[in-house]
Structure formats: structure tokens, C-alpha cells
Amino acid sequence: MRYISTRARPTGTVGSSKPTFSEILLGGLAPDGGLYLPETYPRIDQSELARWRRLSYADLACAVLARFIDDIPPDDLRTLTHRTYTAAIYSNGRNDSVASEITPLRWLDPPAPERGEGGLAILELSNGPTLAFKDMAMQLLGHLFEYVLTRNGEEINILGATSGDTGSSAEYAMRGKRGVRVFMLSPHQRMSAFQRAQMYSLQDPNIYNIAVRGTFDDAQDIVKAVSNDHAFKTRYRIGAVNSINWARVAAQVVYYFKGYFAATGGAGGNEGQQVAFAVPSGNFGNICAGHIARMMGLPIGRLILATNENDVLDEFFRSGVYRPRATSETAATSSPSMDISKASNFERFAFDLVGRDPEVIRRLWSAVDRGDSFDLSAERCFARLPDFGFVSGRSTHADRLETIRRTHDRYGLIIDPHTADGLKVGSERRTAEMPMVVLETALPAKFEETIVEALGRTPDRPATMEGLEKLPQRVEIMDVSVDQVQRFIVQHVP
């Protein structure tokens, strides 16, 4: 398996080589500023789906990832997935059979075939150490980084940006890892108190938190600028753990397969049954993994993209216009991890949408990088959008509160505000003929203020997280400045 950039130059030009998985694992952005994707998507037939249906999560992860990784020996890859996906890591302190499923499916409305109803379910993805779906990929990424760095005798300095959950997931996955330092940027005072405490209370010497006086997009722009400074990136071995890192997206593909199997009857299910997935979307990485699973042959009938008030992605899927917002136009909402107006992973889908033409992507994203928009509504490729299964919708603060209340009253379940966005939009786009699975984003304990507003009570939290906000915090506050961030890295790298 070889990889190409979404902005690849023609074969024979500088930077036109096709690297392997391990070669792109540590680097993040391609040298040309694009994002890596497989040269071709592996295809899975129904007989393979039937075999995969019976696998444990760790074995399924190994089977899926082996289709993208051919430069890590199969036995080593299996060791890494089994070290990652254990009930001890994904239990939230529970000691029951459900924990061993890693991503248990919770039916809200079970399927009723006699009435032609496919059912409504939530796929639990937030049982990892930081209570967010990002743990599903990040824990594996930590082991992959350590494996490749040890094999190569190298070190890496990870530079990332977070809107709330990526940062803590990355830091918990990388803390104490040999040869790894983490420099994580976050938007100052734009995350929940719980999210800030999870990150800033870590005292591990290889973890550095930087809060920038701006939005997530400002932080993300700094990461991209540093990554595009090739001399600095090479000298200080800068890597990435954001979802611009292909390994993150590849690891997220796994739970679409697991969720599909659970929603279609478990070990004895029907491989032809289509399933819809509703996905809260900010940076487009989570739903991009669903797109890739679908391209591999998983029978996904619909990918339902849910945004909050920062509805850049919903606007594109409705109109064909991709119009990133300025910092001043990016709202601070009660689903803060989705307060994003420039979705990095959207470039990966756009690459497929325009027929994998890197020249088109270079042209479109040169406009985006200038702060402009682009319009594909009149292009032939946009007419093909239904072929990819995407539909979209928008949720507001009032919608979130109402969805949280209704879900609690009807099902006795408390959901976090991002999952509420997904459930609200998914319910609006739901069709009777296929099950709909809403991807859980985080546990409600991470967003107590909104839960209290909706229900008048605080959500339960794992015992290990009690008193988290009272712990000492360690964070550097900076202006939105590439130079300041680079100076900080230089000061803390031997």
C-alpha cells in the first residue's frame, strides 16, 4: 500500500514519490501541503465481511488496518492492536461483559421489521481514558508512534491543535512514551472546564500545553504553518496527531465496521443490509473515516453530517459553496469541540469528489488558504454528491438542550451536547428502511454546565475523574503567533 497527497505533483517532479504507511505516520501534512490518502482504497467483499463480523474489536482492527499497512509485520500489528483495545482501557471503571465489546451499541428504538422500522441506536465510543471518541484512534497512535520510533532509533516532537477532545486524548496516549514530546495548542477559554483540566493538569515532563488567544482555527493555522516550514519541521522532527494524520483516520474506520455488524444482527447478520450513520462533525475526520469505510465496500446507505451553529460543512453539502468563516464569525457554542470553520479533513473528501484531481484541489485550496471560498454547485462533480451517501443538517443550542431533555425523559439516558447534535440531525434525516446509528462523541461529564442547564442536575463521572478541576494546572498562554510557538518549541527541545 502506497500513499499519495491530495495536492500531488505529477510523477517525476520533486516531492512526487509515494511513501509507505510508516513513512507518513510521523509527518502529518505532505511536503506539498496536502493530506495523505491511499493510492487506491482496498475493497472488501461480502465473504470477508462475514468473516470480520465474528472478530473481536482488536482482531477487527488488525484486519482493517492490515489493508492500509504493509510495512509493519502482521504479528507486530496484531500485538499493537491487542495492546490497545482491551476492556481495561475502554471500561470507564465498569467490570461487565459490555466493556469487552470496546464500542457497545445501545438501542434507543430497537428494529421492528414487522413495521418496516430499522431502529435507532447510539454507538458508544467514549469509554476510553479521556471519555471521548478520540481515544479510539489516539491510543493506537501512541503505540504505533513508539513502535516506529524505537525501530528507527528516532525521536519526534508532536505539534497539534485541539478544539477540546483531541488534545487530552493525544496527551493521555503519548504521556511517558519513549522518544515523544507533545506540544498541544488549544483556544484560550473556549473549552469546557473539564476539558481544560484534563489537559492542563497533566504534569508529565514530555507534555506541553499552549493556550492561544483565538479560536481552534487560529491554533490549527499555526500547526499548518509550522508544518509547512520544511526546514524547521525537519530540524525539530515535527509530527502530527490531529486528524490530518492518516493513521488517526484509518483507526477510526474500524468502528464503522464494528457498528455496522452490531446494528445488523451481530455474528449472524445480513451483509447486504444498509445502515445510516449520523456523525457530529467539526473537523470532518470522524465522518471522513465513514466515507472511507463506505468506499471500501461497507454497506453504508447514508452518512448524516451534523454541525452546530458553525455550519460551514452543512452549507457546502446543501449548496456546493465551501465558505470558511473568519475568527470573528466563529461562534463559541455549547458543543465547543465542533466550533470549527475550516475543516482540515474535508480536503480528503473533496479530492475524491473531484475525481482525485490534485490540480483541482491545489486550485480550490489556494483560495481557502487566502481566506476565500469556492463554489462547486455548477460543477459536474457536485451533481455526483448523492453517489457518496452524504446528507447534512444543523443543530443549535436550543436544539441541543431539547434533545438532551427528550433523550433523558424517553430513554433514561444522558448524552453530551455533541452527541445531541448528531441525534437531532440524524433523527430528522432518518429513513425507515435502514437502522440509524448515532456516533457518540463524549460522555456528558465533560460538559456539566450544559447538562445542568438542560436537566437541572450534574451528570455522573467516573471515580478517577472526581476533583479533576481542582488539580494544579500547567499551561502557557500565547498570542496567535507562529513565531512564539516555534520559539517555545526550540526552548524545550534538547
- Strands 390-394, 476-478: parallel, antiparallel or unpaired by DSSP? unpaired
Q: 173 is written with which cell numbers?
A: 496516549
Q: For 300, phi and psi rounded to 5 degrees? A: -90, 115
Residue with cell 507518513: 24
Q: 44 is written with which cell numbers?
A: 472488501
The answer to whether the beta carbons of residues 392 and 306 sit under 8 Å apart is: yes
List, in sequence order, every residue forming a beta bridge with 278; answer none if it has no partner.
304, 438
Closest CA to 72 of 132, 1, 121, 134: 1
Q: 149 is written with which cell numbers?
A: 520510533
User: How many Cβ atoms are within 10 Å of 274's Cβ, its own excluded?
Assistant: 17
Catalytic positions are 134
The answer to whether the beta carbons of residues 304 and 242 sit under 8 Å apart is: no
To the nearest 10°, report the CA torsion of 232, 183, 251, 441.
-140
Closest CA to 191 of 336, 83, 394: 336
Alpha-carbon span 33 to 368, nearest angstrom: 13
Alpha-carbon span 278 to 306, nearest angstrom: 7
Distance of CA 6 to the CA centre of its chain: 19
* 216-228 helix and 482-492 helix, angle to the nearest 10 degrees: 70
With vertex at residue 358, the alpha carbon angle to CA 67 and CA 368, rounded to the nearest 5 degrees, is 110
Residue with cell 470522524: 286
| Segment (H or E) for 275 | strand 275-280
Burial label for 411, CB within 10 Å (0-12, 13-18, 19+), is: middle
3-state helix, strand, coil split of the chain in percent (to 5) is 45, 15, 40
Q: 191 is written with which cell numbers?
A: 473549552
